[in-house]
A and B are shown apart, each in its own frame.
Chain A
Amino acid sequence: MLHIRPVVPEIIVFAMACVILLADLFWKRRFKGLMYGLTQATLIAASVTAYGLRDPRARVVLHGMVVQDRLSTILQIAIFALTAIVLAYSRTYIVERGVFRSEFFVLALTGVVGMCVMVSAAHFLSLYLGLELLSLSLYALIALQRDSIPATEAAMKYFVLGALSSGLLLYGLSMLYGATGSLEITRVATALAALPRHDLVATLGLVFVLSGLAFKLGVVPFHMWVPDVYEGAPTAVTLYVGAAPKIAAFALFLRLLVEGLHGLSGAWQEMLVLLAFLSMAVGNIVAIAQTNLKRMLAYSAIAHMGFVLLGLLSARVSGYADALFYALVYAFMTLGAFGIIILLSRKGFEAERLEDLRGLYQRSPWYAWMMLLFMFSMAGVPPTIGFYAKFAVIEAAVSAGFYGLAVAAVLFSVIGAFYYLRIVKLMFFDAPVDAGPLRQGRDLRWLLSLNGIAMLLTTPWAGTLIAICRSAVRGLP
């Protein structure tokens, strides 16, 4: 029996992507903002549907291809919300740069479909296809401004390295298939439990799978694409790449490593320790040397993903919840930081150097305070929500007995605080170079302010949010 209820949100989003593609053909000239409005309406409708279809029990449907549980529902709603905010932030930006075309919205929506497929995958096939759908949409989105040479170069680099990592992932999955005889994640898990502890084939499969996943999440030593793509892509697309896809990549770790390969947790814990340590080290130290704001935020993203792995590698349910919480908080922090870059940019001018932030306090005290909140949250300064996220993952590592790694994480976050605070110094204590007023749409200003205040005001409810994350991962082994 075919149950399509759990995939209704995906179907809505894809159907509307097709509608937008056709509507563009006939009504492009008549209604200017139609595509944008339709896209936002789609995302809202899809998140309402996903919420309405929520089910506390996990259900596997469509011949074992899709799982619907609290994790998939929460992640899907987060993806819809993040994408809606990304599009709202980038509306003026893409109008000014001539990318306000229906293809932009269609590709953004198909990317969302890919992410939704990834977070609700119960089978290697649906997981891989969702990943490819997302990646293909991302490559095209990055290259969409095709007269821009950095954007084309970024897309090309991402495409070549992405294809390589997909190859690694597929090879690993084929090894796992050879070792377990199944592509269904739950069956792989049961078959692995019956295997001897250090089965060579399964372990080799794990190595390849983990390399592929690490590339998608952007952790050292598979991070080479992150700075180039963040810097080269138009800021609106960087915003898109940096927020929701990180959540989806994180979900892949939960679905593949935790749900499927829990039998090999001893092996992947060791590998994740290495990845987490290197990411935090390289991300935080190299970020200090950057003069380009987008590149600096890219290295900061690498470091933050190291912290996310810190929660995962505890191989405990509470650690997964902390990692999920960190990933979600990070996505909203990064939205805010890139939102400020978009706010400062205008037609023909990209505010992507650190210098461009100089004296923001004198130009607009309110947004300087907002940026201060984002930077404090990223650095993990109390009482922002970022502090609780960092605290939670470090606590998870300590409770799992990784004391050395926890100490390293604290040290690297202190090193990282330097470049976040440097931005605060530039904004508050330096004279402005560019004294022009900030002209951006009202939606960007309101949402950005809301985003900034949320960094501070959600702190009292951090416990509730962690409890929600905990309920999402309760079903995991």
Chain B
Amino acid sequence: MTFESAVFYFFSAILLGSAAMVVTIRNSVKSALFLVLAFVSAACLWMLLRAEFLAIVLVLVYVGAVMVLFLFVVMMIDVNMAVLRQGFGEYLPIGGLVAVLMVVEIALAVSPRQLGPTRIAASLVHAPPLHMSNTRALGVLLYTTYVYPFEIAAVILLVAIIAAIALTMRRRPDTKYQDPARQVEVRARDRVRLVKMPTEPKA
């Protein structure tokens, strides 16, 4: 066993273990933290494949942003796991049967005999080695060959923003908010009134 494969098995074991914990553990905050661990070990596996940029982005985006938001949501809403788990056992036999069947079928299809390293190597088109970094090569590809899907992905993000705002924003007439334009336009005489008062006679 080479050093590389030892590292691979180490991180794979962590990845599988933490992924199993994500779905089995009762506490949802801990489950989210195990998901973070799973992401980090997946990033390490990508690093082994020399996809440094993807590994870093996975950590930055998923661990840094998505999971933090996720933790916020988990802490803010009160999820009652006991209610969610109700009826779980009821569907277990049929669900388990389907799952076992699927796993067996997939295992047969992606077994080394069917989809071994030689076949993958044969079917891949080998691009000539580029004398540039991983990140740069990705950037070049993204804005040349894949510019059309890239732009559609941008449209999808815009639609997600529009949908999120349209579904959550409510205009509440009783909400108090500041209107900077009106604040700037205000004149002293609208706000302060000087009233002439007769002085009190001395007693």
Chain A residues proximal to chain B, CB less than 8 Å: 2, 7, 14, 21, 62-63, 65-66, 101, 103, 106-107, 110, 113, 117, 123, 125-126, 129-130, 132-133, 136-137, 139-140, 143-144, 146, 175, 178-182, 191, 200-201, 203-204
The answer to whether B146 and A63 have CB atoms under 8 Å apart is: yes
How far is A390 from B96 in the complex, measured between Cα atoms in Å? Answer: 41
Would you list 9 pairs from A and B whose C-beta atoms are within 8 A, ordered by A residue? A62-B147, A107-B163, A113-B155, A129-B149, A136-B160, A140-B162, A144-B167, A204-B105, A204-B106
The answer to whether A200 and B159 have CB atoms under 8 Å apart is: no
The answer to whether B156 and A126 have CB atoms under 8 Å apart is: no
Q: Contacts of B125 on A, CB cut-off 8 Å?
A: 181-182
Residue B124, interface by CB 8 Å: yes
Nearest A residue to B113 by beta-carbon distance?
A200
The answer to whether B120 and A129 have CB atoms under 8 Å apart is: no
Kindly identify which residue among A7, A63, A103, A204 contacts B109, using a CB–CB cutoff of 8 Å: A204
CB of A269 to closest CB in B, whole Å? 20
CB of A239 to closest CB in B, whole Å? 19
Question: A103-B162, A140-B167, A143-B167 are known contacts. Are A191 and B148 too (CB-CB below 8 A)?
Answer: no
CB of A236 to closest CB in B, whole Å? 15
Contact with A along B124-157 (1 / 0, CB 8 A): 1100000000000000000011111100110110
The answer to whether B148 and A106 have CB atoms under 8 Å apart is: no
Question: A63-B144, A107-B163, A140-B167 are known contacts. Are A175 and B123 too (CB-CB below 8 A)?
Answer: no
Given A14-B155, A65-B149, A133-B152, 10 new contacts (CB under 8 A): A63-B148, A110-B162, A126-B152, A129-B156, A143-B167, A181-B123, A182-B125, A200-B108, A200-B109, A204-B105
The answer to whether B148 and A136 have CB atoms under 8 Å apart is: no
Nearest B residue to A141 by beta-carbon distance?
B163
The answer to whether B162 and A7 have CB atoms under 8 Å apart is: no
The answer to whether B123 and A132 have CB atoms under 8 Å apart is: no
A-B interface contact total, Cβ < 8 Å: 90
Question: A106-B162, A181-B123, A204-B109 are known contacts. Are A133 and B148 too (CB-CB below 8 A)?
Answer: no
How far is A136 from B167 in the complex, measured between Cα atoms in Å? Answer: 13
The answer to whether A181 and B106 have CB atoms under 8 Å apart is: no
Kindly identify which residue among A2, A125, A136, A201 contacts B156, using a CB–CB cutoff of 8 Å: A136
How far is A2 from B145 in the complex, measured between Cα atoms in Å? Answer: 10
CB of B111 to closest CB in A, whole Å? 9
Q: Which of B122, B124, B145, B156 gathers most chain A CB within 10 Å? A: B156
How far is A134 from B110 in the complex, measured between Cα atoms in Å? Answer: 31
The answer to whether A133 and B106 have CB atoms under 8 Å apart is: no
Kindly identify which residue among B110, B152, B163 contacts A140, using a CB–CB cutoff of 8 Å: B163
Residue B166, interface by CB 8 Å: yes
Contact with A along B82-122 (1 / 0, CB 8 A): 00000000000000000000000110111000110000101
Question: A65-B148, A136-B156, A178-B115 are known contacts. Are A201 and B110 too (CB-CB below 8 A)?
Answer: yes
Q: Contacts of B163 on A, CB cut-off 8 Å?
A: 103, 107, 136-137, 139-140
CB of A224 to closest CB in B, whole Å? 14
Q: Contacts of A182 on B, CB cut-off 8 Å?
A: 125
The answer to whether B115 and A125 have CB atoms under 8 Å apart is: no
The answer to whether A123 and B108 have CB atoms under 8 Å apart is: no
Nearest B residue to A123 by beta-carbon distance?
B149
Q: Contacts of A14 on B, CB cut-off 8 Å?
A: 155
CB of A165 to closest CB in B, whole Å? 15
CB of B172 to closest CB in A, whole Å? 14
The answer to whether A191 and B123 have CB atoms under 8 Å apart is: yes
Nearest B residue to A64 by beta-carbon distance?
B145
The answer to whether B109 and A132 have CB atoms under 8 Å apart is: no
The answer to whether B167 and A132 have CB atoms under 8 Å apart is: no
How far is A143 from B165 in the complex, measured between Cα atoms in Å? Answer: 12
How far is A137 from B158 in the complex, measured between Cα atoms in Å? Answer: 11
Q: Contacts of B106 on A, CB cut-off 8 Å?
A: 204
Nearest A residue to B121 by beta-carbon distance?
A181
CB of A189 to closest CB in B, whole Å? 14
The answer to whether A181 and B124 have CB atoms under 8 Å apart is: yes
The answer to whether B146 and A136 have CB atoms under 8 Å apart is: no
Question: A133-B152, A133-B155 are known contacts. Are A180 and B162 too (CB-CB below 8 A)?
Answer: no
Kindly identify which residue among B123, B156, B159, B160 contacts A180, using a CB–CB cutoff of 8 Å: B123
CB of B107 to closest CB in A, whole Å? 10
Q: Contacts of A140 on B, CB cut-off 8 Å?
A: 159, 162-163, 166-167
Contact with A along B31-54 (1 / 0, CB 8 A): 000000000000000000000000
The answer to whether B159 and A136 have CB atoms under 8 Å apart is: yes
Nearest A residue to B149 by beta-carbon distance?
A125
The answer to whether B167 and A117 have CB atoms under 8 Å apart is: no
Nearest A residue to B111 by beta-carbon distance?
A200
Q: Contacts of B122 on A, CB cut-off 8 Å?
A: 181
Question: A180-B123, A201-B115 are known contacts. Are A101 and B144 too (CB-CB below 8 A)?
Answer: no
Give 6 closest A-B pairs by Cβ, nearest first.
A181-B123, A140-B163, A204-B109, A103-B166, A129-B152, A65-B148
The answer to whether B146 and A125 have CB atoms under 8 Å apart is: yes
Question: A136-B156, A191-B123 are known contacts. Are A62 and B167 too (CB-CB below 8 A)?
Answer: no
CB of B70 to closest CB in A, whole Å? 16
CB of A138 to closest CB in B, whole Å? 10
Question: A103-B166, A125-B146, A139-B163 are known contacts. Are A175 and B109 too (CB-CB below 8 A)?
Answer: yes
